[in-house]
Amino acid sequence: MKPLARTVAEMPQSGIREIANLAARTPDCVRLDLGEPHFPTPPHIVEAACQAARDGFTKYTPPVGLLSLRQAISEKLQRVNGLDVPADGIVAVSGATSGLFTACLSILEHGDEILLPNPAWPNWEMMVLSAGGKIRYYPADSSRNFLPDPGELDAYVGDRTRGIILNSPSNPTGAVMSPGLVREMVDFARRHDLWVIADECYDEFVFDEEHTCAARFDGDGRVISLFSCSKTYAMTGWRVGYVACPQDLIEVMAKLQQPVIGSICSVAQKAAEAAFRGPQDSIAVMRDYYRGNRDLAADMFADTGIRTWSPGGAFYMMVDISTASMDTYDFAKRLVRSRQVSVAPGETFGPGGRGLVRLSLATSRDKLETGLERLIEAIRADSQSA
């Protein structure tokens, strides 16, 4: 048989999924690994999809998504993000993951580089490699509360660098960039003529300040903004995201939709339309709940001597386990097997995650408390035996 494509065969698997698969086979495991809201999709969204199906709305839709959905997204971008983006400047995608991948395909030639924060969501690396590109990490590590320093980034730009990925609020760290820092990062990209891919999927889950879109500082059409319904409306399984991008990219993104997904699920688009135009109170309920989970976690770690970083947004927390183990994969697997708790190994997020694990706070409060108690016990026990 002919060999498989080397790029894909050598691509590292997401460590999050590796631990998630192990946890799924472990009875009574407390799941703190996946970024999966434990809230159900709001009923009016579900009913909109059911009604669309009953009405026979089950055919192909345009590759860019329904006009009515893109109009609803345009209204949301104005209302929530302060962005004036017409419907024809938006592409609806099958989950933000699809949009992120097609964005990479749109701007990368084989061998081109993308600057990626370190640590970062591992799927980013997988997407860039799948598109024939290469990753060059830029520092956003624990020593600076997981935020980049634009003044130090010039040295990371090479002849083949095509773009930079910004992620605020961040997965995995929950770090939130201030408006001034976002502006500086866009200015940096402008100096080096780079595309900016702004992953803003957690834009409505910011706890202590306001989210700032990179596109607010885009004066020359270089920012590609990506959003999702998955977390905001607890719609992870519905697979609806959206991209706002410069007009010259719209046709390219639309063309790529055809071989990648064809078109988005028709009834899921109607569900998303109801999400944007219906009651928005569920967002505040979820945000307040995740803030409460963050504060609970901070309190439980406060007197343990275990270092954590309180997230400003999203629903994740980074925990230092370096006194117990620097091999975060090994630690995470032992934690599942011996204490029935699952966390994401830090090393799957890049070199900056070494000695750390990521907790997902998107779970019920009682499960979070139980999971944290077991995690703290494990860190202490492993630290004493190290």
pLDDT single digits (tens) 212-265: 999 999 999 999 999 999 999 999 999 999 999 988 899 999 999 999 888 999
Other beta carbons less than 10 A from residue 119's beta carbon: 28
What is the DSSP secondary structure assignment for residue 116, as one 8-state letter?
A: E
Say what the pLDDT of residue 260 is.
87
> CA dihedral in degrees (125, 130, 133, 136; nearest 10)?
10
pLDDT tens for residues 278-321?
A: 999 999 999 999 999 999 999 999 999 999 999 999 999 999 99
Amino acid 5: pLDDT:
79
Mean pLDDT confidence for 54-75: 97
**What does the alpha-carbon distance between residue 165 and residue 167 come to, in Å, rounded to a whole number?**
7
Pick the CATH number of 6-40+281-385 from 3.40.50.1000, 3.10.20.520, 3.40.50.300, 3.90.1150.10: 3.90.1150.10
**Amino acid letter for position 341:** V
- What pTM does this model have? 0.95
Confidence (pLDDT) at 145: 95
28-60 pLDDT, tens digit each:
999 999 999 999 999 999 999 999 999 999 999
Strand order in the sheet with 241-244: 90-93, 241-244, 223-228, 195-199, 161-167, 113-118, 134-139
Residue 176 pLDDT exceeds 70: yes
DSSP codes of every residue in 277-346: HS--HHHHHHHHHHHHHHHHHHHHHTTTT--EE--SBTTEEEEE-TTT-S-HHHHHHHHHHHH-EE-EEG
**What does the pLDDT look like over 81-96, one tens digit per residue?**
999 999 999 999 999 9
Classified as helix, coil or strand, 226 is strand
How many other CB atoms sit within 10 Å of the CB of residue 95? 22
Q: Is 195 helix (H, G, I), strand (E, B) or coil?
A: strand
| Class of the domain covering 43-277 | alpha beta
Residues of the chain with CATH 3.90.1150.10: 6-40+281-385
Per the CB < 8 A criterion, the answer to whether 241 and 275 are in contact is no
For the chain, percent of residues with pLDDT exceeding 70: 100
Q: With beta carbons less than 8 A apart as the criterion, state whether 363 and 286 touch.
A: no
Q: Start-end ranges of CATH 3.40.640.10 in the chain?
A: 43-277
pLDDT at residue 13, rounded to an integer: 78
Say how far apart CA 123 and CA 13 lie, in whole Å.
9
> Do residues 200 and 226 lie in contact, with contact meaning Cβ atoms separated by under 8 Å?
yes
pLDDT of residue 386: 60
pLDDT beyond 80 at 9: no
